[in-house]
């Protein structure tokens, strides 16, 4: 995985708030809402009520929903919900958004725009949840070693 791809994954974890949870395994063991799960054999499948109108099973560094984990586990032949499996799912989501070329070329804002449908915390996602600003995310991306064209 090249430096820009790794930095983009780190930026998503920063944006989703998982990599900054105290005591977490760099976000890989975070359940939506900030609690931790232990063991990577399977997705934790914990339904969390975030507010009166929103529940979610999002978990892991990239906040993958349980139903999507099940689909990608089969599609990508994943053995578990461990680090490599979570990274593979995130990379697959990025590929499906057709953002890989932009990431490799350092077209940061274009890549974020293409991926915002997959991660609610990205600017312009439109899920009526907290969205981070491009400047803050670009800073996190650069600090993780990403290059911007």
Q: What is the CATH number of the domain that holds 34?
A: 1.10.530.10
Q: Which two tokens mark 4?
A: 């820009």
Residue 25 located in a structural domain: yes
Residue 148 located in a structural domain: no
- Name the residues annotated as catalytic: 16
Please report the pLDDT score of residue 143 as a whole number.
97
47 C-beta neighbours (distance < 10 Å), count: 10
Residue 56 located in a structural domain: yes
Q: Is 124 left (phi over 0), alpha (psi -120 to 50) or beta?
A: left
Residue 125 located in a structural domain: yes
Please report the pLDDT score of residue 27 as a whole number.
96
Global pTM value: 0.93
Task: State how far the Cα of 27 lies from the Cα of 59, in Å rounded to an integer.
Answer: 9
Residue at token pair 């005591």 = 23
Total domains in the chain come to 1
Please report the pLDDT score of residue 78 as a whole number.
98
Residue 149 located in a structural domain: no
Q: What is the pLDDT along the chain (149 residues), one digit of tens a residue?
A: 899 999 999 999 999 999 999 999 999 999 999 999 999 999 999 999 988 888 999 999 999 999 999 999 999 999 999 999 999 999 999 999 999 999 999 999 999 999 999 998 899 887 777 888 999 999 999 999 999 99
69 C-beta neighbours (distance < 10 Å), count: 23
Residue 120 located in a structural domain: yes
Q: Domain range holding 122?
A: 3-143
Residue 67 located in a structural domain: yes
Task: State how far the Cα of 111 lies from the Cα of 114, in Å rounded to an integer.
Answer: 5
* Helices within the chain (DSSP H only): 3-16, 66-76, 83-96, 100-105, 108-115, 134-143
């Amino acid at each position: 995985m090249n430096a820009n791809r790794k930095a983009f994954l780190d930026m998503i974890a920063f944006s989703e708030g998982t990599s900054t949870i105290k005591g977490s395994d760099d976000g890989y063991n975070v359940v939506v809402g900030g609690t931790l799960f232990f063991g990577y054999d399977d997705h934790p499948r914990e339904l969390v009520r975030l507010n009166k109108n929103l529940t979610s099973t999002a978990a892991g560094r990239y906040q993958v929903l349980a139903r999507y984990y099940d689909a990608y586990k089969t599609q990508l032949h994943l053995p578990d919900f461990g680090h490599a499996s979570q990274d593979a799912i995130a990379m697959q989501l990025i590929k499906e958004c057709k953002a890989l070329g932009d990431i490799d070329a350092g077209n940061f804002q274009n890549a974020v725009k293409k991926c915002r449908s997959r991660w609610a915390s990205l600017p312009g996602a439109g899920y009526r949840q907290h969205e981070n600003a491009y400047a803050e995310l670009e800073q996190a991306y650069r600090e993780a070693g990403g290059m911007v064209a």
